[in-house]
Structure 1
Amino acid sequence: MAKSSGKRRRFGAVRQLPSGRWQARYRDPSTGLLRSAEKTYPSKRDAEVALTHLEADILRGEWADPDAGKVPFAEYADAWLRDRKLAARSRERHEMVLRLHIKPDFENTPLARITTARVRSWRAGLLSRGVGEPTVVKAYQILRAILNTAVDDELIRRNPCRVKGADRYDVPERPVLTVPQVLALADAIAPRYRALVLLAAFGALRFGELAALRRRDIDLEARIVSVRRSQMETQDGRLVDKAPKSAAGVRVVSIPEEIVSDIRTHLDRYSGSGHDGHVFLGVQGGRLRRSNFRATWVKALKAAGLSAEVHFHDLRHTGNTLASNTGASTRELMTRLGHSTSRAALIYQHMTGDRDRAIADGLGAMIRESRDGGGGTT
């Protein structure tokens, strides 16, 4: 039979168990019911100190129900993902990362048993198994987000994802093409994709934005392209047009006069019919897909004498760099590229169309100089 300590405490009580160890008991602040501390202690003094800490946590509002953290990680993670508002493609990526890289290590682990040491060991294990660093960073970010919500739900006291530097990685510097190299690539690629290359570089458009363009989005008289949507491919192969990630992604981009004739030729020969026809289509007349475009891209790189390491997205990176060389300000570049900032207000601070036209004219001057110098086509 357990023995009470005798002296009555202001908060809680301690008693000695038949085993000789000491138990601390206190009133649950939520239910008012008497409950025992999660573990026993070797001495009366240790049990009393534990009660002092519990009382302080309750007074500070930092006490967490020890039973709440017993929820298995997989159960909580599934509910977290189900309730989270995500775009279809982002949801698929989250599900895949959870299934392949997080659940195998934490599936049946109670939330309260996930420690910083455990998280550190899990991350090191992914890297040692050859999982790419970007994927490991993504997995860590998802795990941290789930456990942040668990903290908000008062299931755990603090987030154990506290591994310094685990939420980021150094992105290798991507290549920037010269204007002659862009023009050489446009010459080398299949004619139906020439305008695709030119708009990606001199309009700084993403592949998904280009694939989603309709005829009504291009006004060659005004030399503008309206970006209203972006195409994404789901894991089951479906192509879906979606709104850009942020308000800044919906934008109007001016293009150089020097590529207008190329785009006009493309619209006449290769684009879908009607006002709503897609500007860029595959060889068989279907929607443009990254997977089907890959072989054409690699072949064009080789013909243009460029490294096979150059990605299509590097054309946008090139366009950004070239535009900055025209004297465009940071805000003008962000608007042209459809980027948001940490300050939501900047989303609504757009530059004037005249300044974007000036940037496009500066790009055009680069094209003329390259062609006049013999570095590109005429």
Structure 2
Amino acid sequence: MAYAEKVYKVRNGKQTKQFTWKVRYKKPDGSRGTESGFPTKKTAEDWGDAQEAAIRAGRWVDPALQRMTFGEFAHKWMKAKPKRGNTVDKRWNLLQQHIFPKWEHTPLLSFNWFDVDTWQQGLACDDVTAGHAVSLMSSILTGAVDSKHIAVNPLFGRRRTHATGSAPTARRKSDEEKWAPPEGVLQLAERLGPAIGLHVLTTAFTGLGWGEGAALHRDNVLRSRRQPYDGGWFECPVIRVDPDVGELAEYSARDEDGSKTGLVLKLEPPKNGNRARDIDVPPFLALLLRRHLNDWPHPYVFCTPSGTFWRRSNFTRRHIRPAADGREPLTVTKGRAERPGWDPIMPGLTMRALRHTHDTYQDQIGVRPALMFEQAGHARPGIKAVYQHPTPAMRQERLDGLQEIYERAMGNLGWETLWGRVSLKKAPREDRPPNIPQTGSTDEELAA
């Protein structure tokens, strides 16, 4: 049973007549815990009795652990929850740039939703980043609950308050700009040339993520899918996102305390099991990829001209931004060649927007959900993910639809070739191989 005792105050090294009360209670391991600063004997004893009651009920939380600061526990949590390198880097950025300046020295028991919600509304960052910061804080506080540092997570399940006057119409406009019309994709690809332009085209018509495209090895291009279909076989070329080394990760390596130790650029498994997949390739793209592999001397399909991996920022700055946004012409000077100017094609376009573009095309041509989710590498929610599966007929319909989008865009532009490598001229029907969409060029046409 808990009991209380006086604690006399000391002034100038001498005990005074003033005192407070300290309680002693029995902890789960049999040792004695103490807590000081109570104004009366009864309040001290009541507090101690409450601790022992919580211990008997199995819901006791050590007061010393509750007073641990958020920063101290966050370091402990980060060490105990290892993730992919890029995820660790993003978490440390959120902690160091947004969370720690406000909450690093706050005791865990002092958190409440009102203060956190008020804080996140005033963050000097976009709303998505603010949401990620709150989500990370909630995950850490849930870890504190699980490790019995606090009894409840006051952030769990709460909905953030958004700033008054936010404009939904502006968000809708932004969403509209996250995909590209096929004519724009073709113009951008033509402008960038066969190697880099094909990376753009492949992203828009297959949905490869940036890291997946940058990590694509030639051994995983134009593999074959073969399935029984209609008394024969359905066959089509595929791009494989390798389950072991299918994504190029780029992030800052970190010490246990969050200090940066250098840039990491390496191959890793895809972020989840759904992203390791075989993507069916439409005929026109298969022909372009085959010709590219014949010319390209490097093992990775979309690497730099010297054979090294692209850094995303370099690829975007040197190629995507000037090609999409336009650039000023440069006159010839000593040490610099003349450079033509480019008119804008689609300002602000990104490789991520091109992945959005592929999924938008799939929706446009009515790809069935079972196949749409598989090809995009998304996890399909609900029981239908268990009961519905892609069929060869679905796959053929998708390939025909993507081929039609490409051909219509080429016709709208008045083009017959891309980089002189693909033609809209169709081979005679009797010369086409079975179970291949009746569109596109033949290998003989590409040999020119």
**Fold in common (TM above 0.5):** yes
Whether 1:299 and 2:322 are equivalent positions in the alignment is yes
- What does 1:14-163 correspond to in 2, within 5 Å? 25=23, 27-32=25-30, 40=38, 57-58=54-55, 60-125=57-122, 127=123, 130-161=124-155
In the alignment, the residues of structure 2 paired with residue 323 and residue 75 of structure 1 have an alpha-carbon distance, to the nearest angstrom, of: 47
What's the secondary structure of 2:239's corresponding residue? strand
Change (3 A) 1:148 1:124: same
| Equivalent position of 2:400 in the other structure | 361
Identify if the C-alpha distance between structure 1 residues 349 and 149 changes in structure 2 by more than 3 Å, giving closer, same or farther. farther
> What is the CA-CA distance between 1:313 and the residue it aligns to?
1.2
Q: 1:184 and 2:187 equivalent?
A: yes
Separation (CA, whole Å) in 1 of partners of 2:209 and 2:343: 21
Looking at structure 2, the residues matched to 167 and 257 of structure 1 have their Cα atoms a distance apart, in angstroms, of 49
Between Structure 1 and Structure 2, how many residues are aligned?
360
User: 1:242 aligns to what?
Assistant: 268
Change (3 A) 1:189 1:42: same
2:160 is equivalent to residue 166 of structure 1:
yes
Distance in 1 separating the partners of 2:161 and 2:199: 35
- Report if the CA contact (8 A) 1:25-1:34 is conserved: no
User: Greater share of strand residues, 1 or 2?
Assistant: 2
Checking the alignment, whether the CA contact within 8 Å between 2:4 and 2:41 is kept in structure 1 is no
Match of residue 283 from structure 1: 305
Name structure 1 gaps, 5 residues minimum: 1-10
Question: Residue 339 in 1 paired to residue 336 in 2?
Answer: no
Kept in 2: contact 1:24–1:50 (CA 8 A): no
2:293, 2:48 → 1: CA distance?
Answer: 77
What percentage of aligned pairs have identical amino acids? 25
Shift of 1:306: 2.8
Residue 262 of structure 1: how far off its partner (Å): 1.9
Which of 233, 251, 264 is 2:250 aligned to?
Answer: 233
Q: Is the 8 A contact 2:5 2:21 kept in 1?
A: yes
Alignment-mate amino acid for residue 300 of structure 1: A
Post-superposition offset of 1:279: 0.7
Kept after mapping to 2: 8 A contact 1:123/1:136:
yes
**What CA distance in whole angstroms lies between the structure 2 residues aligned with 1:31 and 1:257?**
70
CA distance in 2, matches of 1:369, 1:291: 33
SS in 1 for 2:405: helix
| Structure 1 position 14, deviation (Å) | 7.2
Matched, 1:223 2:243: no
Unaligned runs of 5+ in 2: 9-16, 225-235, 253-261, 327-341, 418-448
Match of 1:312 among 348, 351, 358: 351
Per-residue CA distance 1:64-108 (angstroms, 9 max, x = gap): 121221223322221211121201111122222222222233333
Contact 1:246 1:340 in 2 (8 A): no
Cα distance, 1:243–1:58 mapped onto 2, change above 3 Å: same
Preserved CA contact (<8 Å) 2:178 2:354: no
Q: Which residue of 1 aligns with 2:14?
A: none
Q: RMSD between aligned alpha carbons?
A: 3.5
Contact in 2 for aligned 1:270/1:281 (Cα 8 Å): no
TM-score, normalised with respect to structure 1: 0.81
Q: TM-score, normalised by structure 2?
A: 0.69
Residues 47-73 of structure 1: CA distance to partner in whole angstroms, max 9, x if unpaired? 787678657645653331212212233
Take 1:103 and 1:29, find their aligned partners in 2: how far apart are those partners?
A: 32
Which one of 266, 277, 293 corresponds to residue 267 of structure 1? 293
- After superposition, the Cα gap between the structure-2 partners of 1:51 and 1:343, relative to the gap in structure 1 and judged at 3 Å, is farther
| Counterpart-to-counterpart distance in 1, 2:155 and 2:263 | 34
- One-letter amino acid of the structure 2 residue matched with residue 223 of structure 1: P
**Deviation string for 1:221-241 (max 9, x for gaps)?**
732111110112122333211
